[in-house]
Amino acid sequence: MLKLYFAPRSRAIRVAWLLEEMQLDYELETYALGDPAMRSPEYRADIHPMGRVPVLVDGDVQIMESGAILEYLVTRHGDGRFRPAVGSNAYPAYLQWLHYSEGMLMPQVNSYMVETFFLPPERQSEIHAKRAKKLLGQMLGPIDVALNGKDYLAGDFSAADIMTGSAAISAKGIGIDLSQMPRLAAYVDRLMMRPAYKVAAAL
């Protein structure tokens, strides 16, 4: 059985979301964010060298990084689902949006969260927080454009929607105004209504 090292409100939700969409059996090893157990020498040596989640164990395979885990799952266990065929016209868009999340969106989400939540008040910078929020709003614009006439980013619902969609959900969660991006706003609502997302977000 697959085993997922997991923490709520972390990127591990992406992996649980895909596992639920794929209807695969999996076991959760759940930690709280910042749990000292993830900083232990044993965890760092055996699970994740940086003391983080997610990590997926599949038999002899152990893999970290949410995007890599999603690619692994759709390739090894997807049976052609959750990604377009490599030769299809949708495949380049799939690759682009699969990686857009970590390349463009999540660095700004991370910066905002550091400046407003993780740092002690005396070290927080309102200027840096506002800049991260502004940049994030700008970087969401291309997603709204890409959704013109489409429900999902690369044809049918795919792992790219989990990656970039989860970042868009996070953006909404930190207060980004989506009212000027109606297609993106509807997309976020549509993703959050998926039963598999609801299960993963509630873990």
H or E segment and range at residue 6: strand 2-6
Identify whether the C-beta of residue 39 lies closer than 8 Å to the C-beta of residue 63.
no
Amino acid 108: pLDDT: 95
> Are the folds of 2-77 and 91-202 the same?
no
Measured at the CA of 141, the angle between CA 109 and CA 193, to 5 degrees, comes to: 70
Question: Who contacts 182 (Cβ-Cβ below 8 Å, separation ≥6)?
Answer: 144
Amino acid 119: pLDDT: 86
Here the tokens at position 124 are: 């927080």
Amino acid 117: pLDDT: 82
| 203 residues of the chain, pLDDT tens digit each | 999 999 999 999 999 999 999 999 999 999 998 899 999 999 999 999 999 999 999 999 999 999 999 999 999 999 999 999 999 999 999 999 999 999 999 999 999 998 998 888 899 999 998 999 999 999 999 999 999 999 999 999 999 999 999 999 999 999 999 999 999 999 999 999 999 999 999 99
Amino acid 130: pLDDT: 92
Q: What CATH architecture applies to the domain 91-202?
A: Up-down Bundle (1.20)
Amino acid 34: pLDDT: 86
| Backbone φ/ψ region at 113: left (φ over 0), alpha (ψ -120 to 50), beta | alpha
Q: What CATH architecture applies to the domain 2-77?
A: 3-Layer(aba) Sandwich (3.40)
Domain ranges of the chain: 2-77, 91-202
Amino acid 172: pLDDT: 96
